[in-house]
Amino acid sequence: MPTYREINEKLWKVNKITDKYMGNELVKWMLAHGPDFETALDVGCGNGKDVDFLRGVNKEVAGIELSSVMWKHLKGKANKDYFFLGDACDLPFADDSFDLLYSFEVLEHLPTKEGIQAINEIYRVTRRYFFGTISNRREFHNSFHLNVQSRSWWDGYFRRAGFKLVEVKQFDMVNNWVYCYEK
C-alpha cells in the first residue's frame, strides 16, 4: 500500500497542477471573511500562488509543501526563502510562530493518524488561528482523499487539540465548508 507521501506525489504528477490550482479565490475570501492577521503559514502550499498573493498585499507569509514535484516548481521562484519543503505532521517552526495557519484541501489527503498529528502541529505553531477547508466528500480525487470524515469528526479533533470553533461557512467555489478555529 502506498504511503501518503507517495500518494501526494502522484496527485501532483497526475493533475499536472503548477500555476492554476484554485487561483487565489479562497485567499481573497479568507481576507474578506476570516480573522485579522499579519503573519501566516500556508500548510500544503502547492504551487505557492496563495503565499505570493498574500505577500503582495503586505502580509508576512510562508509556505510549506510536502511534494517534491511542487518543491521543484517553488525553488524556481524568485525570493524562495519563504518556501519550505516539509510535512504538516512535523512543522519545522517554533511554538506560536504565526498569527494564522491556513490550509485549503490538504488534511483529507492524510491518513487518519497523520491528519490528527497535523492538527496538533497546527495548534502548536499557530499563535491564534487556523483557517481552512477540508473536503468531506470522496468523489473529488477519489483515491487521493485518504481521510474523508464528517464535519463533526474534524471538529472533534480540532477541539481535542485545544482549538475552539469560531465559524463554519460554506464556500460556493469548492462547494465545501470553511472552518475558522481560534487557540
Summarised one tens digit per residue, pLDDT across range 59-94 is 999 999 888 877 777 766 655 789 998 999 999 999
Helix (H) or strand (E) holding 56: helix 49-56
Comparing 174 with 71, the larger pLDDT belongs to 71
How confident is the model over 51-64, as a mean pLDDT?
94
The yes-or-no verdict on residue 49 having pLDDT over 90 is: no
The pLDDT value recorded for residue 147 is 73
Residue range 136-153: mean pLDDT, rounded: 69
Q: What's residue 100's pLDDT?
A: 97
Dump pLDDT digits (tens) for 109-138: 788 899 999 999 999 999 999 998 877 765
What is the fold, at CATH topology level, of the domain defined by 4-15+25-182?
Answer: Rossmann fold (3.40.50)
The larger pLDDT score, comparing residue 10 to residue 94, is at: 94
Mean pLDDT of the residues in the chain: 81
Q: In whole angstroms, what is the distance from residue 52 CA to residue 54 CA?
A: 6
Q: What is the pLDDT of residue 102?
A: 93
Angle subtended at Cα 171 by Cα 169 and Cα 172, rounded to the nearest 5 degrees: 140
pLDDT (0 to 100) of residue 143: 63
Q: Which of 15-24, 135-144, 158-167 has the lowest mean pLDDT?
A: 15-24
Contact residues for 132 (Cβ-Cβ < 8 A; gap 6+): 43, 102, 103, 104, 106, 107, 178, 179
